[in-house]
Amino acid sequence: MRINSREFFSKFMDDCDVSVSFDGFVVTDETWRRTPPIPSPSSRIYYVTEGEGMLISDNFSMKLTPGHVYIAPCGIRCGYYGTPSVTKLFFHVNVILPDGYDLFSTAKNFACIERPIEYMQTLIAWYLGDNAIEHIMLKAELWQTVSEFAKILLGDNNRPAKYSPAVSNAISYIRNNLSASLTVVDVAEAVFCSAGTLSASFKRELGLSVAKYIEDLLMFEARRMLLASDRSIFNISSDLGFCDQFYFSRRFKRQFALSPREYRKVYLSSIGLYN
């Protein structure tokens, strides 16, 4: 017997972070409205069983109708409203790949797939119940849904699962030592590679510079810290290595079109967690 085993697969699974940050079953009312659209830190998945509504972005929209599952991927600006209400089971999902990016960070549109209403009602019963096996089955359904949406929205254009040793080591070093003061030279020295060689490899394999990669991860982490706590902007900017919170705020706004304070207020109010 010959077993064809890939050690890389186990490492990929260990390094892949899949999480649900917010979930629920709801019949929306007039307060379920977000216009204009805003960038969302998570992909929103809606299993719609009754009512109608709309998902909107800057230049396109999609109608919500019963018997369908929808995704508003974190890669686009998203708004929404009911007409007048929507009954749905929802999940805010992040699938963070080993390179630190969300699986759907490059998605360009909404998407939907069909599911029988009776089946979705079963999912709701599983969600509202206390049976561990049913929760496992619901989790399996959710990941199947995520996989289907990934095929629709990304096709073969999603990021590779494996990088060259130099790039892989650089990614690990950056993620473990993330700071606004981190430079390409710092990273190159840490992984025993010249800055020029590392920069060329990064550009070839990830399609962006080392500096842009550090900037993206800094802003993603800043967004996570803003929404996961009530810590001050000053403390968050200091923890991320910024010497000036106003400079941090300018860079955050350049990435997300809102200041850190505005982003926290708008996003948390959209899920009913801001007074």
Q: Is 26 helix (H, G, I), strand (E, B) or coil?
A: strand
Distance between CA atoms of residues 134 and 53, nearest Å: 29
Residue 126 shares a structural domain with residue 207 = no
Is residue 11 situated within a structural domain? Answer: no
The pTM of the full predicted model, rounded to 2 decimals, is 0.87
- In this prediction, residue 158 carries a pLDDT of 63
- In this prediction, residue 274 carries a pLDDT of 39
CATH number at residue 180: 1.10.10.60
Cβ pair 58, 18 in contact under 8 A: no
Residue 182 shares a structural domain with residue 253 = yes
Owning domain of residue 204: 165-270
Residue 116 shares a structural domain with residue 188 = no
> Domains in the chain: how many in total?
2
Buried b (16+ CB within 10 A) or exposed e, 108-146: eebbbeebeeeebeebbebbeeeeeebeeebeebbeebb
Is residue 275 situated within a structural domain? Answer: no
- In this prediction, residue 30 carries a pLDDT of 87
Give the pLDDT band of residue 228 (cuts 50, 70, 90): confident
Is residue 190 situated within a structural domain? Answer: yes
Residue 33 shares a structural domain with residue 144 = yes
Query: In sequence order, which residues have a C-beta less than 8 Å from that of residue 184 and are 6 or more positions away?
Result: 195, 198, 199, 209, 210, 211
Domain boundary among 153, 187, 215: 153
Residue 149 shares a structural domain with residue 170 = no
Return contacts of 56-59, CB within 8 angstroms, 24+ apart: 56/80, 56/81, 57/109, 57/110
Residue 119 shares a structural domain with residue 171 = no
- In this prediction, residue 275 carries a pLDDT of 36
Does the structure show a pLDDT above 80 at 203?
yes
The average pLDDT across 137-147 equals: 95
Does the structure show a pLDDT above 60 at 19?
yes
Give the pLDDT band of residue 272 (cuts 50, 70, 90): low
The average pLDDT across 98-123 equals: 94
Cβ pair 53, 28 in contact under 8 A: yes
Does the structure show a pLDDT above 60 at 179?
yes
The average pLDDT across 97-109 equals: 91
pLDDT tens for 239-255 read 999 988 999 999 999 98
Domain boundary among 129, 153, 177: 153
Give the pLDDT band of residue 194 (cuts 50, 70, 90): very high
- Looking at every residue in the chain, the average pLDDT score rounds to 90
Q: N- to C-terminal Cα distance for the chain?
A: 63
Does the structure show a pLDDT above 50 at 46?
yes
Is residue 12 situated within a structural domain? Answer: no
Which of 18-32, 84-98, 153-167, 243-257 is predicted with the least confidence, judged by mean pLDDT? 153-167
